[in-house]
Amino acid sequence: MSCVTFLTDEQRRRLHLAALDGSPVSTFRSPEVTESTLRRIAALGQDPRPGIRASAAAHRHAPQDLLHLLAEDPDTRVRVALARNAWVGADLLGRLAGDAAPAVRQWVAVHTSTTPAVRDRLAQDDDAQVRAVVAMVTSSR
Amino acid sequence: MTDTTETSTGILGTGIREGLLLKPVTYPWAMELYDQAVANTWFPNEVQLGEDLGDFDRMSEDERHALTFLMSYFNPNELLVNKALAFGVYPYVNAAECHLYLAKQMWEEANHCMSFEYVLETFPIDREAAYNSHVEVPSMAAKEEFEVRFIRRMTEQTLDISTTEGKQDFVRNLVAYNVILEGIWFYSGFMVALSFRQRNLLRNFGSLIDWIVRDESLHLKFGINLILTVLDENPDVATPAFADEIRGMILHAVEMEEAYNRDMLPNGILGLNADYINTYVRYLADRRLEELGFEPEYGVANPAKWMAAANDTLQLVNFFESINTSYEVNTRADS
């Protein structure tokens, strides 16, 4: 018997009552973003290991200047992480739309903050996969 | 089987007297994974799930059933992984760098559990139904029962990690929670979860799953490295009979997952049905078998090549090709 199948009638009753209780189990708050948080993310962005820099590029609170710096990173994984970052703005996405790596441009194509003008440009991309992703995104919106 | 020599110089041991000094680092791969895991730190409320509510309202009953089914499975099983780590791994590992990584991993499992709570709080999902189905749906309960069996053995006082039998129990537990639960079953669920985003639905939920997948890929690397290190340092463990048993565990796990996926998607949803997912499960099982040094069993191509997006490339288009060809399996070489 699994530990979960040991649920007694009493435990089931409590589970039922808990389900009726609308209060959340947590406030779901993350720590406040402080200067030291930003310094830590900036340090990650300078790390010699691409995987660590990719983490900085994907970070919710990465400073704009760092994101722009990482847009020039020599490792494609870092720039892909940047293009996948949901909090990256339209201006940086426009820049990434000209990236040499098709994988980066594909992620730009599906990003919700990409402007129609940039997406139109990607619809004419040299890479067939990029064009196909644009077509998919356009047809499903 | 016979007792073997003391293991205090290897990665296995009681982990109390030996694992107190970080330097010299004996297993640099564990430190690398720790550094990466710390860099990856994230919090669920950084994702704006509420923006997906409109999508949720438009989803079909079958799609909502699939999402509820996933939450029902993921939520308790993140905690089950922590039990496997706390009872079955941490106490038997000597290396401080491994303890550091395991501590971070345990926080990540807690963070994932809270992420799924966040999903349950945000979407109008019947929490009671979600909590209950992992107990009441036989295919889901069977998967949990499978895991609990191996964790329980690790808590028995008769287990002696210095013996061949004890080391084999350690490896069995690792294979059960890491290779099977995290490396096959979770990835199968992640594929279904991310399939919504492939159809431009639940994009923020997809981001949440992205972050979880990023953590889980490190968990998998750590577990595989740990298994291979134990086998390398303890040549008495990998007997032919034991190897057969491990392979059999993985194949049995595939059968359980196939039954579970049929319960999750009885009718299929757009672009996905149980056969499609189960082909992916077989593909995953082959990769895990190879990582452990076995020959693959199924020899199938990855039908969900777009899942590579979970790592570093995008394969959105292949997913839509698969829709247009009635779940046709993409037979091109895998990336």
Per-residue pLDDT of chain B (335 residues; tens, 9 = 90+): 434 444 457 999 876 777 778 888 999 999 999 999 999 999 998 888 999 999 999 998 888 888 988 888 888 888 889 999 999 999 999 999 999 999 999 999 999 999 999 998 899 888 777 777 766 778 888 888 888 888 888 888 778 899 999 999 999 999 999 999 999 999 989 988 988 887 778 988 988 998 999 999 999 999 999 999 999 999 999 999 999 999 999 999 999 999 988 888 887 776 788 888 999 999 999 999 999 999 999 999 888 776 765 444 344 444 433 333 333 333 333 33
Residue of A4, A15, A28 lying closest to B44 (CB–CB): A28
Q: How far is A6 from chain B (nearest CA, A)?
A: 9
Q: In this complex, is the C-beta atom of B3 within 8 Å of any C-beta atom belonging to chain A?
A: no
Q: How far is B146 from chain A (nearest CA, A)?
A: 8
Residue among B148, B174, B314 at smallest CA distance from A130: B314
DSSP at B14 = -
- Cβ-defined contact of A30 to B207 (cutoff 8 Å): no
Residues of chain A contacting residue B43, judged by C-beta atoms under 8 Å apart: 30-31
Tokens 């983490």, located at residue:
A55
Residue A117 has which token pair? Answer: 């003008």
Query: Residue B83's closest chain A neighbor by CA?
Result: A3
Give all domains of chain B, ordered by start, each with its CATH number: 28-304 (1.10.620.20)
Catalytic annotation, residues of B: 118
- Cβ-defined contact of B317 to A133 (cutoff 8 Å): yes
Residues of chain A contacting residue B317, judged by C-beta atoms under 8 Å apart: 129, 132-133, 136
| Spatial distance between the Cα atoms of B294 and B70, rounded to a whole number of angstroms | 30
Give all domains of chain A, ordered by start, each with its CATH number: 35-139 (1.25.10.10)
Residues in a beta bridge with B269: B272
Please report, for residues A28, A57, A109, A117, the alpha-carbon distance to residue A100 in angstroms, rounded to integers and kept in the order given: 39, 18, 14, 19
Q: How far is A95 from chain B (nearest CA, A)?
A: 19
Q: What ipTM does the predicted assembly reach? A: 0.78
- Cβ-defined contact of A76 to B312 (cutoff 8 Å): yes
Radius of gyration of chain A measured on its C-alpha atoms:
22
Q: Which residues contact A67 (CB under 8 A, 6 or more apart)?
A: A57, A82, A85, A88, A92
Partner B, chain A 92-131, Cβ-Cβ below 8 Å: 103, 106-107, 110, 112, 129
Q: In this complex, is the C-beta atom of B26 within 8 Å of any C-beta atom belonging to chain A?
A: no
Residues of chain A contacting residue B181, judged by C-beta atoms under 8 Å apart: none
